[in-house]
Amino acid sequence: MAIDGIIILDNSGRPIIQSGFRSCSPAYPLLHIDALNNALAKSTRVGDVDPIIYVPTYDGRDALLPSACCHILCGDIRIVCPVSGEVDPLFAFAFLQGFVEILQEYFGTVSAATLKDNFDVVYQLLEETLDSGGHPLTTSTNALRDIVLPPSLISKLLANLSTPGAGGMSPATGAGAFASPIPWRKAGLRYNNNDIYFDVVEELRAVVNKNGTPLSSNVWGKIETNAKLSGTPDLLLTFTNPQVLTDCAFHPCVRLQRWTRDKSLSFVPPDGHFILLDYRYVPSGPASAVTGSGTPGVRGELVHVPIVLKSLIEVNEFGGTLDLTLTSRLASRAMENLSAELYLGEEATGASCMTSGGQWGGGGAKSLPGDVSWRFDSKKKVLRWEIQNMPSSSTFHLRGSFTSGAKNPRPARALRIRFEIHQHSFSALKVDQLRLTGEGYKPYKGVRGRCVGDVEWRW
C-alpha cells in the first residue's frame, strides 16, 4: 500500500512544495490541485468541503484511472495527498497527520512563511519520510533529527564545527542516525535533571437534541508524554483504574504482552514529546462522568455533557431574534475558552446582541465587562459568543437579533459549543506509580489532566 505523493498549498491554493511524483504523469498533481481549488470555490464554507475528493485521471492510452484527493488544513496551508488504486484513504490521512507532527517538531508553528523560509529542510524531510514508491520510511523525529538537522543557528554552527550534540545533553561519541539498537531512542542521552511528564488529554464529542438529551457522546483520550531521561531507562507505568481504557492504540515502545497480562504499561520511552497511548472511554454505569448523577433518558454508555443550553431562536423576514442561556453543570471546576457558534445563513449581513452585564452594539465585535464577548464574522457568516472563564454552576445569557439579505433566512439548526476544563478528566483516570529500572536515578514524574469539548447542540 502506497500513496502517490505530497503537495503543500498556501491559503490561495497555489503549490508551495511537492514531492516527486515519479510514477505519474506531470499533469497528475495539477489535476488534484485544480479539483481541490474548484471544490473550495464552490463551497459557501471551508468546512463544507469533503476531506476526500474524487478525481478522474487518464493514462497515456486514455484509460480511466480513478483517484482520490485527500487533504487536511493546517494553519494557513493545506496538505494534499493524492491516492489511486486500492489504497485506503485512511492510510493517507495517517501519514498526513504524522507528517504534520514532524513539521511541528521542527518548526514549532507551521505556516506558509515558515515553510518558504526552510525549503531545504522540508524537501529533506519529504525525501526521508517518503520513498520513491510512495511508502513511508522514517517517521520518528528522534531518528530524523540525526539525518535532517533542525533549522536553528545552533544546529548549523554545530554542524560546521562537527560537534555531534546540543540541547543541554552530553553528546554520545560516534552516535548518529540509526546508531541506537532501539529505533525510537537515541543512544547516550544525558540530562542534568531527569524528568518525565504525562498529560492526560480527553476530548468529548457529542450531539444533543433541542430537549437537552444527548443523542451521542463519546470521549477519546490520549496520554501525551514528554520524557527527558538519561541513558536507556525501562519504565513501568500503572493505573489505579485501568478498566476505563478501551480501544487502546499504543506507541511502538509499549510491550503489548505486559498490557494484556496486568493492564500496565512497560516501555523504553523515546526522547522528547510523543503520544504514549490513545484510548476511548465508555462509562459502565449511568451517564455520570461529570456530576455524579444520571440523567433520565440517557443511556449508560453515553457520557454526561457538562453544560446546558437553552435556546429560543425565531426566524422572521430578513432576519430573526435569539435568546441563549448557557449553564455550567460542573460543581467544582471552571470551564475556560468556551465558545458558541451559530451560522446565520449565506445572506446574513449583521447582528446586534447583548450579553449578561453588557450593552447593545451592532455590526462587529463587542467587548463586554469581564471575560465575555461576542462578534459577528461577516466573511464566515457566523455569530460567535465567547466566555473566557465560566465558573462552576454559573449562568450566562446572550440576547439579540440578526439581519439578512434573504427574505427567508436559513440559519443552521444547531450551535457548535467548544470548551476546555483543566485539571479534570471525564474518565477519572488516575496514575498509580512509575517505576524505573536499568538506570541508577529516580526521575521526577508530573501528571495533569485536561479536557476539551466539541458539542453540537440542536435547537
Domain extent listing, the chain: 7-139, 143-183, 197-302+426-458, 307-422
Amino acid letter, residue 99? F
State in Å, rounded, how far the first CA of the chain is from the last one.
44
Greater confidence, 436 or 361?
A: 436
Q: What is the mean pLDDT of residues 310-319?
A: 94
pLDDT bracket for residue 298 (50, 70, 90): very low
Which region among 69-73, 358-362, 379-383, 428-432 has the lowest average model confidence (pLDDT)? Answer: 358-362
Cβ–Cβ under 8 Å, residues 21 and 5 = yes
What residues contact residue 319 under an 8 Å CB cut-off, 6+ apart?
401, 402, 403, 404, 409
Q: Classify burial at 239, counting beta carbons within 10 Å of its beta carbon; exposed 0-12, middle 13-18, buried 19 or more.
A: middle
C-alpha gyration radius of the chain: 25
Above 80 in pLDDT, residue 125?
A: yes
Q: What is the mean pLDDT of residues 410-435?
A: 94
Above 70 in pLDDT, residue 284?
A: yes
Supply the pLDDT for residue 332. 87
Supply the pLDDT for residue 263. 94
Instruction: Compute how many other C-beta atoms are within 10 angstroms of the C-beta atom of residue 455.
Output: 22
Supply the pLDDT for residue 297. 43
Strand partners, 206: 217, 455
Instruction: Read off the pTM.
Output: 0.79
Above 60 in pLDDT, residue 115?
A: yes
Supply the pLDDT for residue 358. 34
29 vs 81: CA distance, rounded Å:
9
Q: What is the mean pLDDT of residues 26-33?
A: 89
Q: What CATH topology corresponds to 197-302+426-458?
A: Immunoglobulin-like (2.60.40)
Supply the pLDDT for residue 170. 41
Q: What is the mean pLDDT of residues 321-347?
A: 93
Share of the chain above pLDDT 70, in %: 86
- Using alpha carbons only, what angle is made at residue 109 by residues 108 and 111, rounded to the nearest 5 degrees? 140
Above 50 in pLDDT, residue 165?
A: no
Which region among 63-67, 152-156, 264-268 has the lowest average model confidence (pLDDT)? Answer: 152-156
214 vs 93: CA distance, rounded Å:
29
- Domains 197-302+426-458 and 307-422 belong to one CATH topology: yes
pLDDT bracket for residue 52 (50, 70, 90): very high
Supply the pLDDT for residue 292. 40
pLDDT bracket for residue 59 (50, 70, 90): low
Q: What is the mean pLDDT of residues 419-431?
A: 94
Q: What CATH topology corresponds to 307-422?
A: Immunoglobulin-like (2.60.40)
Which region among 206-210, 392-396, 401-405 has the lowest average model confidence (pLDDT)? Answer: 392-396
337 vs 174: CA distance, rounded Å:
48
The whole-chain average pLDDT of the chain stands at: 85
Supply the pLDDT for residue 143. 80
Four-point Cα dihedral 106, 107, 111, 117, nearest 10:
-100
For 176-182, the CB contacts below 8 A with 24+ separation are 176/146, 177/143, 177/146, 177/147, 178/143, 178/146, 179/146, 182/232, 182/253, 182/268
Cβ–Cβ under 8 Å, residues 356 and 372 = yes
Above 50 in pLDDT, residue 169?
A: no
pLDDT bracket for residue 208 (50, 70, 90): very high
Cβ–Cβ under 8 Å, residues 69 and 29 = no
pLDDT bracket for residue 205 (50, 70, 90): very high
Supply the pLDDT for residue 157. 59
Q: What is the mean pLDDT of residues 180-201?
A: 90
Residue with cell 461529570: 290
Supply the pLDDT for residue 206. 95
Q: What is the mean pLDDT of residues 306-328?
A: 94
Q: What CATH topology corresponds to 7-139?
A: Beta-Lactamase (3.30.450)
Cβ–Cβ under 8 Å, residues 414 and 166 = no
Q: What is the mean pLDDT of residues 366-389?
A: 82
Q: What is the mean pLDDT of residues 435-452?
A: 94
Supply the pLDDT for residue 340. 96
Greater confidence, 456 or 168?
A: 456
pLDDT bracket for residue 282 (50, 70, 90): confident
Supply the pLDDT for residue 288. 45
Supply the pLDDT for residue 207. 96
**Helix 119-129 × helix 89-107 angle, to 10°:** 140
pLDDT bracket for residue 173 (50, 70, 90): very low
7 vs 192: CA distance, rounded Å:
42
pLDDT bracket for residue 160 (50, 70, 90): low
